[in-house]
Amino acid sequence: MSEAVIHVEGLGKRYRVGERERYLALRDVLARAVTAPFRRNGQRRTRDYLWALRDVSFDVRQGEVVGLIGRNGAGKTTLLKILSRITRPTEGFAEIHGRVGSLLEVGTGFHPELTGRENVYLSGAILGMSRREIGQKYDAIVDFAGVERFIDTPLKHFSTGMQMRLAFAVAAHLEPEILLVDEVLAVGDLEFQKKCLGKMQEVSQSGRTIVFVSHQMNQIRRLCERVLWIDAGQIRQSGSTGEVIAAYESSQVGAAAESRGKCFLRWEVPGHGNVIRQLADEVVFRLELQLTEPVSKGHLGVNIVNGDSVLLIGWGFENVEIPAGRQELMVRVPFLPLRPGAYTLLCTLFNNGNNLNDGEAIEHWIAVPPLIVDTRPMTHAQDRWAGLLNIPAELQVPSTDTVRTSVAGS
Amino acid sequence: MAKPPVLRITPPSRWWAIPFGELWAYRELLYFFVWRDIKIRYKQTAIGAAWAVLQPFLTMLVFSLFFGKLAHISSGGLPYPIFYYSALLPWMYFASALQNATNTIVENQRLVTKVYFPRLALPLSSVLSGLVDFGVSFLMFIAMMIYYGIRPSAAALWLPVFLLMAILTALGVGLWLAALNAIYRDVRYVLPFLVQFWMFASPVVYSSSLVPAKWRWLYGLNPMAGVIEGFRWSLTGHGDPPGRMFLASAGVVLAILLGGVGYFQKMETTVADVV
């Protein structure tokens, strides 16, 4: 059952610097030929090349949904392009067992002069479907896209949103054994994105293998069981989704620019930077601020928002008195059982009242860096059943005297 | 259940082969590319298929007037319109097929960088889709034959051979130019000159009987010379049946085609990186 359907070994891709994404004009080649004798030998060998991917090895098993994460330019797309045979590797090899469908772009092969119907057939054929297959799925595709009324008008009269929906609908009905997807769910409105995610989940549950690139960690969390983190052309970490994403997000924090608010200067979890590592202990948020005038009968709001913009918890403190000048505030929380991930800390400060009774807003501060929760997941192993909190539970079966804990992976 | 085929992705090797099997597996995509080219060409133009007739017809009128009536170039007794149109049929097909094939990789660069398919399908489809225009303009030729009361002989059975050779020539040269064009955009500017020079180096406005017989085989190294002379001969009986000149042409076509496939495939391995 679970044999490797993708086997990658020592894969590397080298580009000549300047060659990537650019065509040559004959004069460049002539210029290079003319200057070549004056260059010292061997000089160009090392300097003119760039490894976009180097020494990458991994396996993907049948039915697995694997996420690829990493910063822009880390090599994720190059890897997908090699696996989908758009470009060839420079060294190493990959073996793929089964029919591959790749989705590196939504609307590949669409032509504005052709009608919606014609484009469905064309795009389907380009993505690897046979004419019969497209014919069978045609109604489902049009229905999914919700563009029945316009299907026989040229695509150029479609709105951008409609084009995107139709394009994704075609792609979503691709049924290869292995699907390679590059960041294509970031299109369309929120409603449609949800529909697409749902479709992807459906596909993954039907036992097909998916390799999925995204910058949106919530999408990766929802879809993938395993994540490969690619950094500077190499696999930096691979493992369970929660673990790798937490490590990735923690590393991103250092890179984020320090931004200051008008009066909020910085925040920290004393002794831990911006990371919460314990599940059940007290958590302290230390806020530093600089006030030009004192706050009296003020309001301080502290909110925690997750990556899907869901407000998880908010605290409001009324009748707050703070003297002017450089001040620090300590917000103590006895326990904070949040799921591992990155969160936004939202701080608001009002003078003379609050947001409801004519208080004077001093600042709404989106705290930087973000709050990272890096604890061990204690909930359901599948991301979509894990929920928002991270609290351990225990199952007892008294008649057999057995105990099971909810801790993932144990 | 049959074990799925294993696909092995490796660095490009020095060897190449014509991927007949793969092209066959992608034959539906090839069909869709041809269908798309034709559909778009006729959708974007106001009078559509009429262009396929107007272009050779008007060119034929100009040639008949200037080269024929004024310059008195010998047509071997054929009416000038027939003499010129029978040569313009393959020439116009060749010129437009070559042009489309040359630009096909660059025009489809989004496709090339986002999806895998045998890249050969692109120039192949642009060469094939030109056949529709050829067919339309051929109907006009039939009408002209009836008008002039010229009855084709059994030599007309040779026509498919010459047509195939025109297709292969356009494909062979197109493969070279498409590959070059993907890397050096200069090709785009060179192409119109190339086509123009090539026409005068081919027996379009004159008959190859102008060329001394002992140099005829050398003249045949231009494959379009063999094709055009063959067209004229098979349709109107003018000129000589296929001989040494035709063999020279066929040999050259084969060489260009094989070299073109090789060069194109070499380019194919890196095209997604440079287009």
pLDDT digits (tens, 9 = 90+) for B89-134: 999 999 999 999 999 998 898 888 888 888 999 999 999 999 999 9
CB A105, CB B114: distance < 8 Å: yes
Is position A393 within any domain?
no
How confident is the model at residue A43, as a pLDDT? 43
Q: Say if strands A100-103 and A402-405 run parallel, antiparallel, or are unpaired.
A: unpaired
User: Do A220 and A267 belong to one domain?
Assistant: no
User: Do A79 and A188 belong to one domain?
Assistant: yes
pLDDT digits (tens, 9 = 90+) for A87-98: 889 999 999 998
pLDDT digits (tens, 9 = 90+) for B247-261: 888 999 999 999 999
Confidence of residue A25 (pLDDT cuts 50, 70, 90): low
* Residue-number span of the structural domain to which A175 is assigned: 4-253
pLDDT digits (tens, 9 = 90+) for B15-44: 667 778 888 888 899 999 999 988 888 877
User: Do A213 and A237 belong to one domain?
Assistant: yes
User: Do A244 and A266 belong to one domain?
Assistant: no
Question: Is the pLDDT confidence value at A360 over 90?
Answer: no
The nearest CA of chain B is from the CA of A316 a distance in Å of 51
A102 to chain B: which residues are within 8 Å by CB? 115-116
User: Do A315 and A222 belong to one domain?
Assistant: no
User: Do A245 and A332 belong to one domain?
Assistant: no
User: Do A160 and A265 belong to one domain?
Assistant: no
How confident is the model at residue B4, as a pLDDT? 58
The nearest CA of chain B is from the CA of A190 a distance in Å of 25
Phi-psi region of A324 (alpha: psi -120 to 50; beta: other; left: phi over 0): beta
Tell me which residues of chain B have a C-beta less than 8 Å from any C-beta of chain A.
3-12, 28-29, 31-32, 36, 39-40, 43-44, 110-117, 182-186, 269-270, 272-275
Instruction: With CB atoms and an 8 Å threshold, state whether B275 touches A177.
Output: no
pLDDT digits (tens, 9 = 90+) for B48-82: 778 788 888 999 999 988 888 888 888 777 888 99
**What CATH number does residue A214 fall under?**
3.40.50.300
User: Do A245 and A187 belong to one domain?
Assistant: yes
Cβ-based contacts under 8 A for chains A and B? 114
B40 to chain A: which residues are within 8 Å by CB? 111, 113-114
Residue of B18, B239, B40, B32 whose CA lies nearest to B118: B18
Q: What is the mean pLDDT of residues B222-240?
A: 88
Instruction: With CB atoms and an 8 Å threshold, state whether A127 touches B115.
Output: yes
Which is more confident, A342 or A84? A84
**A337 contacts: CB under 8 Å, gap ≥ 6:** A279, A280, A389, A390, A391
Question: Is the pLDDT confidence value at A114 over 70?
Answer: yes
User: Do A279 and A304 belong to one domain?
Assistant: yes
Model-level pTM? 0.73
Is position A405 within any domain?
no
User: Do A268 and A321 belong to one domain?
Assistant: yes
- Residue B222: DSSP 8-state: S
3-state secondary structure of A358: coil
Q: How many domains are there within chain A?
A: 2
How confident is the model at residue A253, as a pLDDT? 55
Is position A391 within any domain?
no
How confident is the model at residue A321, as a pLDDT? 93
Comparing alpha-carbon positions, the chain B residue that sits nearest to A113 is B40
Residue of A182, A166, A168, A174 whose CA lies nearest to A84: A182
User: Do A208 and A223 belong to one domain?
Assistant: yes
The nearest CA of chain B is from the CA of A74 a distance in Å of 16
How confident is the model at residue A36, as a pLDDT? 56
Q: Say if strands A4-16 and A49-61 run parallel, antiparallel, or are unpaired.
A: antiparallel
Question: Is the pLDDT confidence value at A222 over 80?
Answer: no
A83 has a chain B CB within 8 A of its CB:
yes
Confidence of residue A187 (pLDDT cuts 50, 70, 90): low
Is position A378 within any domain?
no
To test the contact with chain B by mutation, choose from A1, A54, A117, A118 the residue with the greatest count of B C-beta atoms within 10 A, namely A118
User: Do A231 and A301 belong to one domain?
Assistant: no
- Residue A359: DSSP 8-state: -
Q: What is the mean pLDDT of residues A314-326?
A: 92
